[in-house]
Structure 1
């Protein structure tokens, strides 16, 4: 197919473009190209998607499909409008963050959504879900349901995860902050995790797009209890030190943030309000070809990438070694 990837330089977009080239598709990437260049084997069209003439270099050509990963409604709106008459199919990578309720495990694609963002620009991650809802609507408005594939991705994992969310645990188990090898972990029975390897997500997006699949799909990994996810991370890191457990009230009282950001424990989310955030129904995507590699393989490859990239570099998620040592001391004092 003749595939236009809007982006193609960042993590998921680049993986999609590379996979499509690997399969023999003709791939053009439209991007600013300020952070990186698209993968080898692609055509690169330099453009600023916020500029009035952003699609001038590609709008006069015919495409079998377009893939877009943007979070900005204005960018998606102008792309869909510019390409609707020249592309047969539009795949938009959305997010499970579009759902209004995160407390119900097993919810499918028909669950209620957040209200769409009012405006073209998402200027804060606090309205990320609303922005993605607006993006979905813009795609459907211009391409219609029969020519649109909406991919509601869960947490993306694997080599290249600069957010630090999926690399934190294997890396910390590989290099504990405490001398005795102790690692602080959330004590959260009932909390699920649900991650998808970036390579599996990209492969499915390319195959589904090439096949003209239409509809809306939750695309993420199998739901797995947090303890099982941590056990897999320990296994790949060969960690044998103690686990020091702390419940969500203790963590919150000591200033530990959930999910990501400074002084956080990645993958941990408060219950019951987030009981379904990482436990969504993915049966529709699986019935349409989504295939997942074992979690241990993803975590092992992520750990190798983390170590090669510099284990001590500044991180966007997790506790620093100093923060964890202080918390371990506090936990020991409480227990003693």
Structure 2
């Protein structure tokens, strides 16, 4: 298979390119060359997607498949115009859903209004999710066959968000660790390598359909037990954390992966069944934790988000001092 990966220098797109090379495919990565390096064994074409596609991209043998992770509608339009006849796998996001309390799955009535302009995706969830909705539609309407994958929280070595890394860093802890919210709250993660392998498989088989690209949900207590097997988890309720100014999800003042309930009951509780039936094979969380910890130990520049251990100790002391 001759595969075009739009990107190939960061996290998921890089993992896709690496997996495709490992399987013996002819892989071309098109990118600006400013965000990292491509895996060994790929051919690189320089392309700033604010500009028309260079002739180097389209000269030569046709592509059998394209993998695109773009979030900007104009970038997707230019890529579709350049490679209109290949099978496409477009990587979207669960942020396309309008109601994160509802994990019910695909359906036009549950999607955000599409945003066809090129806006700042980091300015709001509506911008990011709405532009991804528009990108999905562009792909599905333009090419003869396509799959749309909507991942949830992607984790593992190389994760630029630092969210799962917060817990992987603590994986050898033996003392008290603050666990946010309720033990039974559902969460989902998917290892970047498992997602990449599945995306390559969808390209190989020219598979169609729209999927939530996520591993099965599990109670937060089970995930943290897999991440921190020797720690003593101290569960602290969300009302206390919110009153103390702790942020959810990500950021320097956050406890990562924690989400307010019930408004986010569905965000990390999507139905993984269709993705599993279509070939996604998630590995155990403890394996992802071990490999993420090894990456953190080997790369001093690896990002970790979340509160400091000093702030955590302060919160635990205040929690225990309550009447």
Length-normalised TM-score, structure 2: 0.93
Q: Partner of 1:151 in structure 2? A: 149
CA RMSD of aligned residues (A): 1.8
Select 2:286's aligned residue among 296, 303, 314: 296
Deviation at 1:129, TM superposition (A): 1.1
Q: Partner of 1:128 in structure 2? A: 128
Matched, 1:37 2:37: yes
Matched, 1:101 2:114: no
Select 2:205's aligned residue among 204, 211, 214: 211
Cα deviations by residue, 1:103-135 (Å, 9 ceiling, x for unpaired): 124x12236100111402334251221121111
Deviation at 1:294, TM superposition (A): 1.2
Cα deviations by residue, 1:188-213 (Å, 9 ceiling, x for unpaired): 24421111111110001001111100
Q: Distance in 2 between matches of 1:314 and 1:252?
A: 28
Deviation at 1:261, TM superposition (A): 1.2
> Retained in 2: the 8 A contact 1:90–1:148?
yes
Q: Partner of 2:90 in structure 1? A: 92
Q: Distance in 2 between matches of 1:159 and 1:169?
A: 13
What secondary structure does 2:57 align onto?
coil
List aligned pairs for 1:179-194, cutoff 5 A.
181-194=175-188
Deviation at 1:258, TM superposition (A): 0.7
Deviation at 1:326, TM superposition (A): 2.4
Q: Partner of 1:28 in structure 2? A: 28
Length-normalised TM-score, structure 1: 0.90
Q: Distance in 1 between matches of 2:275 and 2:227?
A: 26
> Retained in 2: the 8 A contact 1:173–1:183?
no
Deviation at 1:173, TM superposition (A): 4.2
Q: Partner of 2:261 in structure 1? A: 271
Deviation at 1:325, TM superposition (A): 2.6
> Retained in 2: the 8 A contact 1:158–1:301?
yes
> Retained in 1: the 8 A contact 2:166–2:304?
no
**Are residues 208 and 274 of structure 1, via their aligned partners in 2, closer, same or farther at CA, if it must alter by over 3 Å?**
same
Deviation at 1:264, TM superposition (A): 0.6
What secondary structure does 1:167 align onto?
helix
Q: Distance in 1 between matches of 2:233 and 2:293?
A: 19
What secondary structure does 2:170 align onto?
helix
Q: Distance in 2 between matches of 1:124 and 1:108?
A: 24
Q: Partner of 2:321 in structure 1? A: 333
What secondary structure does 2:38 align onto?
coil
Cα deviations by residue, 1:57-107 (Å, 9 ceiling, x for unpaired): 2134411011101111211121112211xx3211110011111111124x1
Deviation at 1:302, TM superposition (A): 1.1
Q: Partner of 1:56 in structure 2? A: 55
> Retained in 2: the 8 A contact 1:192–1:278?
yes
> Retained in 2: the 8 A contact 1:263–1:323?
no
Deviation at 1:163, TM superposition (A): 1.0
Cα deviations by residue, 1:191-242 (Å, 9 ceiling, x for unpaired): 211111111100010011111001111111110110110111112xxx34x3
> Retained in 2: the 8 A contact 1:76–1:138?
yes
Q: Distance in 1 between matches of 2:277 and 2:255?
A: 33
List aligned pairs for 1:256-267, cutoff 5 A.
256-267=246-257
The size of the alignment, in residue pairs, is 319
Q: Distance in 2 between matches of 1:89 and 1:125?
A: 32
Q: Partner of 2:310 in structure 1? A: 322
Q: Partner of 1:226 in structure 2? A: 220
